[in-house]
Structures are given as structure tokens and as C-alpha cells.
Amino acid sequence: MASATAAERTGEPISVLILEDDAPTRWRIADALSHHGEFDVAEAATLAEARQRLAESDPDVLLTDLQLPDGNGMELIREVRQRNRTTEIMVISILGDEQSVISAILLGANGYLLKDAFPTDIADTVRDLLRGHSPISASIARFIVRRTQERPGRAGHSDLDTARLTPREIDILWGIAKGFSYADIADHLGISRQTVPGYIKTIYRKLEVNTRGEAVFEALQQGLIRF
Amino acid sequence: MVAPIPLPMPKNRWIAGYLLVQAVIALLCVILFYRPDLPLPPHEYRLTHAEVSTDAKTWTQAQLPYFRPRDIPPDTPVLLRTEFAYPSADAEKAWSIFIPRFTSGVEIVVNGAVILDSRRMRSVGRIDRNVAVIAPIPLALLHDGANELVVRLHLWGPLTGYLDAPYAGPDSELRQAYGGRAFLFATLPLALAIWQAMVGMILGLIFFARPHERAYGWLAAAMAVGTVQHFIPMPASALLRGLLGASGSLECALAVHFAAHLTGLRIRPWGVFLFLPAALVLLTALLGPAELLPTIYGLFGLPSIGLFVSMVAVILGRAAVARRDWSLAYLGSTLTVVAVFWVHDAMTIMDALPGERILLGRLSYSTVLIAIGLGLTWRFVQALNQADDFTARLVEQVREAEKKLRASFAREEEQSRKEALAAERTRLMRDLHDGLGGQLVSIVAMAEQTGGTKIGDAARAALKDLRLVIDAMEEIDGDLMLVLGSWRERMAAQLRAHDIALSWQVLKPEGLPIFPGLRPWHVIQIVRLLDEAVTNAIKHSGAGTLKVVIDSVAGDDGSPGGRITIEDDGRGFCAQEASSDPGHRLPGGRGLLNMKKRAEFCGATLDIASGGNGTRVDLWLPASAGLAAPGEASFPHG
């Protein structure tokens, strides 16, 4: 967020790196962002290409697919996150399914983007992200709160550790899962509407795992993650 | 109001109360039995004077009843001579001699002929039983006028000689008194002995089946001794005499062991010494000279009975006070009765009490033993009842636990079913994600680039439906709001692309009620129905705003339910117009029918109203939605 505000202040374009192996998809996302002069869009189709780009400098925003010809996008998420905390990371997902989105969140991603999202929505989502609004879908919220309800110890250890979430944060997730707007949620809980996005960002940060633990990363990468 | 908890009485008050009760019991015993009103014949037949001789030569005057210390050899009887008048006018009536009480044996001689020898009669020799004798006088022996009666009094056993005043008179006058005494002192003890045998047998059986119930064993042994001694005749052989002499002490020693075991008092190792007096009496009878036995019995046998009875009374009384145990208090009280009668008997033997020489100790002891046995049996039955209650409670608890276990199994099963479904969903999602999903996204991208809007829209619709199917596979436990959350996101994106504003209103904080009957296949139908309503609004209405209102409301019949309303501000449609225009698929025809079918499938009600100000689709779901609806496969697709 710090870098975003810095970019806004200086008026410099926001650097975005798109890592997506399917060319038409990559182009339409790039087009959706390039339309507006505010974004400086770079593209990569493979992990190797992306690493080359990142070697020069970290972008403000990284949009990455997971299934890549030469590896998994999660490796890149981890590398960037270990290097800095300022780059906003989003997963490009086809279905917005929990398997890929939650894995990315655990590694430090801040949200996800649907591959078929309308061009205006794509730009809006990136802009929201830079303003500190981590997008969260109803199904992801539902998935997380479902885990908080499970009896501890029943299914053994879960990599999705919801124990650190406060009751308020869980209430907010419930509201999102049930389709309430941020305004409605804020009204129900008696909090300011502007603070809801902040809560969501906190939730993401709390769910992030310590990726220095190689075992967890291996599990995440291989889809062996225990939710 | 809370009932006050009764505080236990202070110990001192318990002791005082217990002793007071024992004193009252003793007093009652004295009042009731001090001089039992024993039946006697009419006084006119009583013979009150006699001449006494030991050698039939020198006679001295004596009053009846007659007391004689043991100052003569055992085989020498004391002769008591008296006279009675027999009126010959009474010839048709049988006459008898009746002696209410004597110790220890009598021969009745009328006019020189022996008509009764008590030593030949079993059980009459048992001096502890106060047996009376009656002897009919053969008519031939009687003279008119004065007749001579000689009673030969034999002395044996621990007691001094005693002869109550005999009665000589018509048998009809004497028989009633004899019958009354025979009942009290012969029939009743026999009945008690048999009763004691039976109770003893029950206790013995209990002990046999449950050897750890030692108290029952000891009491059964005491009862066995009590029963056996009843049938020992007197006078008898040295062995039997010894056994009889030892029986009282032995019974009481066993009773001490019983009390100790019942109250948990540690009695070993000195408990074995309790049997010493009985052993001493028995050994004396077997090995010592015959004259020694009464002395040893008097010195050890008799006092040990009193000592042991007191010990039992104290042991039970102490335990009753210490534990506030009413059943022990009851047992202790019965011992007080025995102790009172033991004192009575001791005083009687020492001739300290006036009147007839009646011994009541044995009778009271038998009665009390039976009372204890009954008390114990009652305790045992109570314990059985408790065990039954306990078992019943246990059975109930086991049943409860089983029920819980079964419920938990069912939950577990349900859980694993859900987990299997989730795993299947994950697998399917990955397949779709990698295959179909990626291709559809490519189509969308390529269509956008080549301007193929319709192809793009179709591919996007396919993607949307794909997401819906995957979404609906997740178990929502009847919480439709969870599905509407995802639906809102998909639908909002669609509306944004067509510049239609969305007004999303949830009127109740909880949104919709829970619909326990809704399964994934119902959920898909509901979401498709809502999708069709939104798609119709987007494609045909030209609306600027779409309003979705979600409310929890009761139905027309008052049953709980929820309503989802989709309302646009477009131009509406007319059903006739729509069906007359087959090329333009307005929602009036098949689409509308399809929506109704979907609602019906879920047990919901659909209302569509359309006019110049827009279209309003009302979906009302009763809380029972899906419960009575047909199964998964039966929805007619079309």
C-alpha cells in the first residue's frame, strides 16, 4: 500500500506484471489495464520470463496464473513475498475456486482475479487492491468461516489456521459469505463502513503461513494442503 | 423455597438418646415379664405343706414351694411327702397330680406307686424351659379320703433343687393350666427353634453364595447351635451335657463375632478367646468328674453369656451412635432385651426373686436371634433392591450412551459424507479448472478480440454455469444465504457489464430462515431460476436498476418462510405478445414455464407480475422447502 500511495502521489504509472501462459487471456487482461494510462503493464508467459523481469525490479502489482508450463505460480508468489511486503499480489483464477485462492492467500497473496472478468472490473479490482481493499469472494469467505466452525482436533492439523481470527473478523466473513454489502455488515456490527476493507486485509495477513517452512510450501504447491 | 437440610444430631445427644431408648426397652421388659401371669389351677387343689426326708426315715416339716441346695449326692433324691383328700363321690372324674415347676427332675408316687418319672421324658428335663408335668392317677390307686403323695426330687445340673407346690385334683380342673404352660414352654420354644433353623438356613445360604458377607455366616452358625441345643434332652450323657452347657456361651461368642463383622470392628486375634468358656465347659463334661460340671458352668458358662450379650449390645450400640445407623440401633436394642432377661434369670437362679422359678433367657434369646435374622434378611433384600436400582440406572445410562454413540456415529457418517462430497468437488473443480474452464476462458478472450460478442457471452454464460454447479455442490445445511452470496457476485458482474445498477436489500439481519430440506439439486434450481429472472431483465427490459429484496416472512397460512424478490424498472412484458413472437424468446412462454417448474420442484411458489413500470418476480420458499419435494433425478430438464 505504501508503494501505491507513493505512486499516486508522484503521478508515476503503477507497474504491473502479468504472468499468464494463455496468450489471449494475458492480452485481454493487459488490454483492460493498458486502456488507462495509470498502469505500466509488463507481461510474462513463463516463470523464467517473470523471474527475469523481477530481477530488474519488483512491480507494484503482480498478477499471476498458477498452472504454468515451467512450474507453479505459487513459487513466484513466495519469492516475491519473501523479498518484500509492498508488492500487491493477485492470483488469476479461472473459477475463483478455494483450492487455488486459499493456497495463494496462505503464501501472501492479497486476492484473486477471475480470468473472464469484464475489462472494467479488472481495472477496478487492481485499483481497489492498491487502495488497500483486498477482494474477497463470498465462496472464499464461506470456506474460511466453515473452518472456524469445525471442532478443533477433529481432522487433525489444518494448514488453514483460523485460530488467530477474532470473533469480529469471523462475523465480517460471515456477512460476506451471505452476500451482505460492506455497508450492511458495518451497520450490523456497529463499526465504521470504511474499516471493513482493513479488516479483510488483516484477515489475509493472519492466514498467511510462514513460508520459510519448506514442508508447508511443498504441500501447498502439490495441492496437498489440508484445509 | 429450599427445604432445610436436617443437621445430624450432636454425638452426645445421640448417645444419650440411645441409652434412654435402651432404658425404656428394659423397663418395658420388666413391666411386661417380671411376673408373667402364668396359668394355675384353682387354689383349692394346691398342696402347701410337706414332710421332707433324704433317707425316708427322718422327716422334717417344710413349706411348699421347697428350695434345696445341692448338698446331697447326685443319685440321692429328696423325698417330699404330703397328703390330699379324694372324695369317692368324685369317682367318675379322673384325678391328676400337676406340678407347675421343679428343678431338676421329679418322680411322682401316689400311695406307693410311681405314676410319673420326668427323667424318662425327653425335653422335660430341660430345666431352662420351665416345663410343667401332669400325671393322671390310675383310679385303682385312690382311696376314699386321705391319699399319700410323695414327690422324689432329683437334683442335677447347675441349679439347686426346687419344687413348686403341687396340685392334686380332678384332671379337668388341672389340665387347662398344664395346657397353657405346655404351649408357652414347650410348643412355643419348638416353633421358635424351627423358625430359627429356617432363618439360619437362609442366612447360611446367603453366606454360602456370598462368602465375603462374613456377618451372615457367623449369625447362621449361632442359629445352628441354637437349633441343635433345642433337641438335646436332659439328663443325658456326658458329651450331650457338655454340649448343652457349652451351647449358650458358644452361641453368644458367635454373636460377638457377628456383631464385630457387621460393624467392621477388628476382632482378630483375640476373637478366638471368646470360645474359651464354651470349650472349658465341654472339656469338663468330657474329662472331668460329673460334679465339677455345674461348678464350671456356673463359674464360666453362665457369666460368659451375660458378658458376651453385653459386648454385642455395646458393639452394636456404639456403631449405631457413631454412624447414626437406625438398623444397627434396632439390632442393638434387641440385645438389650436379652441382657434384661439374662439378669432376670441370674437373679432367679440365685433365688433373689420371689415366686416361681421361671427362666426366660433362652426364650428371649431365640426370639431376639430371629428378630436379628429377619433384620439382616431385610437389610439384604434392601441391598438387593439397591443393586437392582443401580443396575436399572446403569442400564439406563448404557442406553443413553448407546443413543449418544449412535447419534455421534450418524454425525460422523454425515461428516464423512460431506467430506467425500467436498473432496469430489475439489477433484472435479481441478479437472474443470484445468480443462473446460481454461478453454472457455480462451474462447471469451478470443471472442473479445475478434468482436464475436455472442460467442463471448455464450462462453461466459457457460463459465458462470460451471461455477454455479461447483458452488452448489458444497453442502450449505439449508442456509440459502451462503449461496446467494456467491450468486450476488456473479450477477453483479453481469449487471455492471450492462450498466444496470444493483440494489441489494436484505431486510432482516439473519437474511432468510434455514431450509433444512434444501439439497444441492434444489439449490441449483433456485439459483438458475434467479439467474433466468436476472437474464430476462438484462436482455429484454431495458431497465436501469435491478432490485433484489431478501426477506424472512410468514406465508399466507402463517408458516415461516423466506421471500426473494427481483424487480426491475424496465418496460415489462406481456405474455400474449411474447408467445406470438416465437423468434424473440421473451420470458412469457417456455422460459416462464421453466421457472415455475423449478420453483415447484423445490416446493416454492413463484409469482411474476409485469407491467409498464417493470417486472417483479416473487419467489416464496416455505421453511419446509425441499422436504417433500421429489428426488434429484426427477426434475424435468428442458
| Better-predicted residue by pLDDT, A57 or A214 | A57
Work out the pLDDT band at B576, boundaries 50, 70, 90.
very low
Rg of chain B taking only CA atoms, in angstroms:
54
**Model confidence at B401: pLDDT above 90:** yes
In angstroms, how far is CA A203 from the centroid of its own chain? 12
Angstrom distance (rounded) from CA A41 to CA A61 = 9
Q: Which residue is closest to A96 within chain B, CA to CA?
A: B467
- Tell me if A63 sits within 8 A of A92, measured CB to CB: yes
Please give the helix or strand (H or E) that residue B464 lies within, else none: helix B453-472
**Model confidence at B223: pLDDT above 70:** yes
Percent above pLDDT 90 for chain B: 17
**Tens digit of each residue's pLDDT (9 = 90 or more) over B60-82:** 998 888 888 877 777 788 999 99
**Model confidence at A13: pLDDT above 50:** yes
CATH superfamily of B476-638: Histidine kinase-like ATPase, C-terminal domain (3.30.565.10)
Predicted local distance difference test score (pLDDT) of residue B99: 92
Cβ <8 Å between B489 and A138: yes
Predicted local distance difference test score (pLDDT) of residue B515: 87
* Nearest to B510, CA basis, from A179, A27, A40: A179
| Beta-strand runs (E) in chain A | 14-19, 39-44, 61-64, 67-68, 71-72, 88-93, 111-114
Query: What are the boundaries of each domain within chain B?
Result: 11-37+188-393, 43-180, 476-638
State the nearest Cα–Cα gap between B514 and chain A, in angstroms: 12
Which grid coordinates belong to B486?
456467491
The residue type at B225: V
Instruction: Work out the average pLDDT over B282-302.
Output: 83
Q: Residues of A at the B interface (Cβ-Cβ below 8 Å)? A: 22, 24-25, 27-28, 67, 93-97, 99-100, 115-118, 120-121, 137-139, 141-142, 176-181, 184, 188, 223
**Model confidence at B397: pLDDT above 90:** yes
Predicted local distance difference test score (pLDDT) of residue B5: 46
**Tens digit of each residue's pLDDT (9 = 90 or more) over B492-541:** 888 988 889 999 988 888 888 888 888 888 888 899 899 888 988 888 77
**Model confidence at A17: pLDDT above 90:** yes
Predicted local distance difference test score (pLDDT) of residue A218: 66
Predicted local distance difference test score (pLDDT) of residue B580: 43
Q: In chain B, positions 374-433, which contact chain A (CB-CB < 8 Å)?
A: 426, 429-430, 432-433
Query: What ipTM was reported for this prediction?
Result: 0.83
Q: Which of A25, A29, A92, A97 should we substitute to test contact with B (largest number of B Cβ atoms within 10 Å)?
A: A97
Angstrom distance (rounded) from CA A181 to CA A196 = 10
Cβ <8 Å between B485 and A179: yes
Work out the pLDDT band at A19, boundaries 50, 70, 90.
very high
**Which of A77-81, A221-225, B369-373 has the largest mean confidence?**
A77-81
**Model confidence at B175: pLDDT above 80:** yes
Task: Write a three-state SS string for B418-429.
Answer: HHHHHHHHHHHH
Beta pairing, strands B501-506 & B545-554: parallel
- Tell me if B429 sits within 8 A of A97, measured CB to CB: yes
Angstrom distance (rounded) from CA A18 to CA B323 = 88
Q: Is B476-638 in the same CATH topology as B43-180?
A: no
State the nearest Cα–Cα gap between B484 and chain A, in angstroms: 6
Work out the pLDDT band at B554, boundaries 50, 70, 90.
confident
* Nearest to A145, CA basis, from A207, A91, A190: A207
Q: Hey, what's the torsion of the CAs at B454, B459, B461, B465, to 10 degrees?
A: 160
Q: How many CB atoms lie within 10 A of CB A154?
A: 9
State the nearest Cα–Cα gap between A85 and chain B, in angstroms: 29
Q: Under CATH, to which class is B43-180 assigned?
A: mainly beta
Instruction: Work out the average pLDDT over B145-155.
Output: 90
| Better-predicted residue by pLDDT, A202 or A100 | A202
**Tens digit of each residue's pLDDT (9 = 90 or more) over B418-450:** 778 777 777 777 777 777 888 888 888 888 888
Q: How many CB atoms lie within 10 A of CB B115?
A: 17
**Model confidence at B139: pLDDT above 80:** yes
* Nearest to B503, CA basis, from B562, B571, B566, B563: B566
**Contacts (Cβ under 8 Å, ≥6 apart) of B445:** A22, A24, A25, A27, A28, A115, A116
Angstrom distance (rounded) from CA A144 to CA B172 = 111
CA atoms A83, A85, A91, A92: torsion sign: negative
Cβ <8 Å between A95 and B432: yes
**Model confidence at A5: pLDDT above 50:** no
**Tens digit of each residue's pLDDT (9 = 90 or more) over B406-419:** 999 998 888 888 77
Predicted local distance difference test score (pLDDT) of residue A221: 62
- Determine if residue A96 is left, alpha or beta; phi over 0 gives left, psi from -120 to 50 gives alpha, anything else beta: left
Mean pLDDT value across chain B: 83
Predicted local distance difference test score (pLDDT) of residue B160: 82
What share of residues in chain B are helix, strand, coil (percent, to 5)? 55, 15, 25
Predicted local distance difference test score (pLDDT) of residue B633: 45
**Tens digit of each residue's pLDDT (9 = 90 or more) over B253-287:** 999 999 999 888 887 788 889 999 999 988 888 88
Place of cell 458444497: B474
Angle between helices B361-432 and B214-230 (to 10 degrees): 150
Which grid coordinates belong to B447?
471472442
**Model confidence at B104: pLDDT above 50:** yes
On whether any CB of chain A is under 8 Å from the CB of B613, the answer is: no
Percent above pLDDT 90 for chain A: 8
Predicted local distance difference test score (pLDDT) of residue A214: 62
Structural domains in chain A plus CATH codes:
2-133 (3.40.50.2300), 139-209 (1.10.10.10)
Predicted local distance difference test score (pLDDT) of residue B96: 92
Work out the pLDDT band at B628, boundaries 50, 70, 90.
low
| Least confident piece of the model among A39-53, A84-98, B97-111, B213-227 | A84-98
